[in-house]
Amino acid sequence: MINGMSELYTIEGLRYSYLWNRQRVPVLKGIDLHIPKSCFTCIVGPSGSGKNNASESAGFY
């Protein structure tokens, strides 16, 4: 619960990496996300910043 509002969705410590040239490349390093009920939420950022990876890993698709 944040500021007295119950949460619709909570993610803590989200990590994501991929293999490239036989090396693991971390792209998301411990993302926390708290979305309260009745809030409109957007994930924004520059191209290549991990928005799609974060959304897929969190189960938004």
Residue 60 lies in a domain: no
Residue 15 lies in a domain: yes
Question: How many structural domains are present in the chain?
Answer: 1
Structural domain that includes position 16: 7-53
Contact at 8 Å (CB) between 25 and 59?
no
Residue 14 lies in a domain: yes
Q: What is the pLDDT of residues 16-48, one digit of tens each?
A: 898 999 999 998 899 898 888 888 888 899 998
Residue 2 lies in a domain: no
Dist. CA 33–CA 19, nearest whole Å = 25
| Structure confidence at residue 49 (pLDDT) | 84
Angle at 51 between CA 45 and CA 54, to 5 degrees: 145
Given a cut of 60, is residue 2 above it in pLDDT? no
Assessment of whether the complete model's pTM goes beyond 0.85: no
